[in-house]
Amino acid sequence: MKTKKTRNEIRRDRIFATALLILLAAFTLIVCTIADAVTNNVAVNSDSVVSEASDNIIEAEPEPEPEPEPEPEPEIDIYPVDLDPDLQRYIIKTCEEYKINPSIVIAMCFYESSFNPDAVGDNGESMGLMGISPRWCWPEMERLNCPDMTDPYQNVTVGIDIIARKMAKYDGNPEMALMAYNAGDAGAHRLWFDNGIYSTTYSSNIMNMSWALDHGEEF
């Protein structure tokens, strides 16, 4: 036979049940809080690892494109004369820069020195391939930094500069320029204006040799 619980017992049971529910709720809250903290910590650590891994990734640099090879300079045709081929190419290239016919300079080298870089003129002053006289040509030698007229490259550098300036001065007339190169401006003026002479053995022979070179003929 069941005994009835007293009012105090019933109250006690309710209090106990309420306390148990409160404890269960508190325990559940603690467990959830711990779980969230663990989850957040794992997420942070994962982000850190990913970030470090990303930082350690080195992007591969693209390989540089190979530089194009320079085009070879076109071969320069030289004249069939007994003059060093490299020096001929230098003369031709320099004449192109001055815009004068290189065959005239080659003919001058032959007429002045027979292609002998050590030649000395009858007057004892003119020197080298183009018969340069340091006494009269020192301004050009100094301006072009060519002090040694026994050096064939320096000699033709000065000679080409002089004949090119003579041609420019006399309206591109090669014979007048050659006469001025050979006799000086004053001497050429006397020939032209006092004597009416516009061609000399020097100028006409060089022009004939230049024509022969341009047409593949020997002189």
Cα–Cα distance, 213 to 82 (Å, whole number): 13
- Sole residue written with tokens 């619980």: 5
Query: What b/e sequence results for 186-200 when a residue is b if at least 16 CB atoms lie within 10 Å of its CB, and e otherwise?
Result: eebeebeeeeeeeeb
- For residue 127, report the phi and psi dihedrals to the nearest 5 degrees: -135, 150
User: Which letter does DSSP use for residue 126 in this model?
Assistant: -
* Helices 102-113, 152-169: crossing angle, 10 deg rounding: 120
- Neighbouring CB atoms inside 10 A of 97's CB total 9
Active site residue 112: yes
DSSP one-letter string for 170-185 = TTT-HHHHHHHHHHHH
The residue from 9, 75, 112, 140 that is catalytic is: 112
Cα–Cα distance, 37 to 14 (Å, whole number): 35
Cα–Cα distances (Å) from 145 to 6, 43, 102, 129, 158, in that order, read 133, 78, 22, 18, 9
Longest Cα–Cα distance of the chain, Å, equals 170
Q: Which SS3 state, helix, strand or coil, does residue 167 take?
A: helix
Residues annotated as catalytic (active site), given as ranges:
112
